[in-house]
Structure 1
Amino acid sequence: MGASPARPLNPAAAPALGGVYAALLVQVCISAGTYLTAKRAMTELPPLTVVLWRFLLSGAVFVLLLAMLPGPKLPPREAWGRVFLLGLLAGPVNQVFFFTGLARSTAAHGALLYALTPLGVYLSSLARRQERASSRTLVGIATAFVGVVVLLLGRGLADARGSMLGDVLILLAVLAWVAYTTEGKPLVATHGPLRATSWCMVMGTVLMLPFAPLYGNVDALVSSTALAKACIGYLGLMTSVVAYLLWFYALSKVSASKVAIFSNLQPAATALAAWAVLDESLHWELAVGGVLVLVGVRLTQMARTQPPPAPLPVVEERRTA
């Protein structure tokens, strides 16, 4: 018998995925600025002060967004546990570990450790049976990671010296983001990206409130420069609102591993932003590493990531007399 003919492509699928990938590219550009603005804000303010005001700002925006959305304002009873977990992961766990780690380490180390996100998401998705095992996905993730290493070597990774504690804290932040991505997909599938993101970020803000008496530091915030305040505004509005909404939007459309692989484009975007804003020089490693990352992203997008088949129900045999 001859091979069965290939299925015709759905003409509506390409534009839909094109919108998803465009959203992810915007998310990458916003996230690239996060490293620069976070480092700049922490030159004047303690890490936890930056994190706290970032969440207070974004939490207020999401409360207003929920107030304007039609439908339920609060999660249904069965979703409260997952919303609490996701708010904890996105707020106190991810951000506290990331900012305190970044204050002790370097941006290059942070970018390298965050490049492990796609691998962590892929393995977690396999463990949760959200995706099938795919050699093409694994090769794509490995290729993109090599590209990140090459790119960061051109930005001084070999000479960068971050403390072991700082790197461990950033790695814990990465693990929290991996869990946030994989655990968030079922919530997004049920309630949509807008409502799911709003619930999780408001919960994250509520969980950050106990830090307010210790790290609110209103006097330090008021006396900081306009640039430091603008950096907090960027973190609160662009990163915590726009970028988080785009991340969950993409999760509602494609598999978690196809979303996570785009995070490996962030070091290239950060290098370009540093060149444009900080007048840093560009090196050949950016071109080589960038190409490898793009190849890895493309391989991952081409992989089939259908969910594994559901286990067959166990049928008990009847004993005959």
Structure 2
Amino acid sequence: MRLILLTCLTMIAFAANSVLNRMAVDGGGIDPSSFAMIRVLAGAVALCMILTVRGGGLPLLHRDRMVGAFSLAAYMIGFSLAYVTLDAGLGALILFGTVQVTMFGWSALRGGHPTTRQLMGASMAFGGLLIALWPDDTAGGDITGAALMVVAGLGWAAYTLVGKRATDPLAATAANFVWTLPILAVLLFGTGLQAAPSGIALAILSGAVTSGLGYALWYSILPQLAAQTAAVLQLSVPIIAIAGGALLLGEALSLSLALAAALVIGGIAVAVTASTAQAGHN
């Protein structure tokens, strides 16, 4: 039960990042590059403060650090720039659809053998994503935004896979955020940075709470989840983001999105109960 509650809390934090980013950038309170940099800075500060209170070193020279930092930078840049044109829910659908495909593919390449039921659940959920992404009058984005979010999804998938090896999730997340700062500074320097107090506040909230603490929590529960299960679980995030976008940002809902939500949630239910069902037949 504790694992279920922590997983639900993490998925809500992930969805909140989409809503906060879209709210800040689309509202004109901040440009996407500034949002990404302030988000990472706030996350780094919050995590390092917690690490100082808890005790323990900052593993800046760990062998996984550069992969973690560059994958986090790819995610942050693609994510922020994509939300110039994408709705919160649509962006989350593309992001976690990409994550799902990448993680399932990586698991297969590494010799993993998902069960028939897991494949059925993933197919159901992915079918829901295809319905939601099918272009219609309510589509809230464009090809450029979608491509940027695919880059973000690839970055997040790599970050998640590396995170499964972390022995100290809090310290690893803090170190990743610290290393990501100079990478973003180099890549985004001179891109017309501007930020109002409201945009800065939203970026800090996203960085310190829903990103920094959310990612540390995700790192802590990842070792308890199979790679296939972790991938499919993240497909709940777009549904939460769609609801948040509709309630807080006035983004359009449609019958196709409702059908997609039903398929995604159903697919998750099938996939995450696969191991239990298999154990019951042994």
TM-score after normalising by structure 2: 0.84
Q: Which moved more, 1:61-70 or 1:273-282?
A: 273-282
Over the matched positions of the two proteins, sequence identity in percent amounts to 22
TM-score after normalising by structure 1: 0.75
On the 8 A contact 1:112/1:149 being kept in 2, the answer is no
1:138-153 pair list within 5 angstroms: 138-150=119-131
1:13-162 pair list within 5 angstroms: 18-42=1-25, 43-74=28-59, 80-91=62-73, 93-114=74-95, 115-129=97-111, 131-150=112-131, 159-160=138-139, 162=141
Aligned residues: 273
1:74–1:26 CA distance, 2 compared to 1 (3 A): same
1:74–1:282 CA distance, 2 compared to 1 (3 A): closer
1:177-198 Cα shifts (integer Å, max 9, x gaps): 1111112212x2xx23222222
Aligned with 2:247 (options 254, 257, 276): 276
Give 1:165's aligned amino acid.
Answer: T
On the 8 A contact 2:164/2:223 being kept in 1, the answer is yes
On the 8 A contact 2:88/2:241 being kept in 1, the answer is no
Distance 1:210 1:216 in 2: 14
Distance 1:279 1:108 in 2: 11
1:193-220 Cα shifts (integer Å, max 9, x gaps): 2222222222223433435753694xx4
What residue in structure 1 maps to residue 280 of structure 2?
none
Structure 1 residue runs of 5 or longer lacking an equivalent are: 1-17, 306-321
Deviation, structure 1 residue 66: 2.6
3-state DSSP class of the match of 2:113? coil
On the 8 A contact 1:63/1:198 being kept in 2, the answer is yes
1:52–1:157 CA distance, 2 compared to 1 (3 A): farther
What residue in structure 1 maps to residue 151 of structure 2?
172
Deviation, structure 1 residue 269: 1.1
1:83–1:262 CA distance, 2 compared to 1 (3 A): same
On the 8 A contact 2:129/2:260 being kept in 1, the answer is yes
Distance 1:30 1:299 in 2: 23
On the 8 A contact 1:104/1:166 being kept in 2, the answer is yes
The question of 1:258 aligning with 2:229 is answered yes
Deviation, structure 1 residue 141: 1.1
Higher Cα radius of gyration: 1
Structure 2 residue runs of 5 or longer lacking an equivalent are: 277-282
Deviation, structure 1 residue 149: 4.1
Deviation, structure 1 residue 160: 2.2
1:22–1:216 CA distance, 2 compared to 1 (3 A): farther
On the 8 A contact 2:122/2:232 being kept in 1, the answer is yes
**How large is the Cα RMSD of the aligned pairs?**
2.7
Deviation, structure 1 residue 140: 1.0
On the 8 A contact 2:68/2:176 being kept in 1, the answer is yes
1:70-123 Cα shifts (integer Å, max 9, x gaps): 333335x6xx231111011112x1111222233244445423322232221111
On the 8 A contact 2:20/2:202 being kept in 1, the answer is yes
The question of 1:204 aligning with 2:180 is answered yes
The question of 1:230 aligning with 2:201 is answered yes
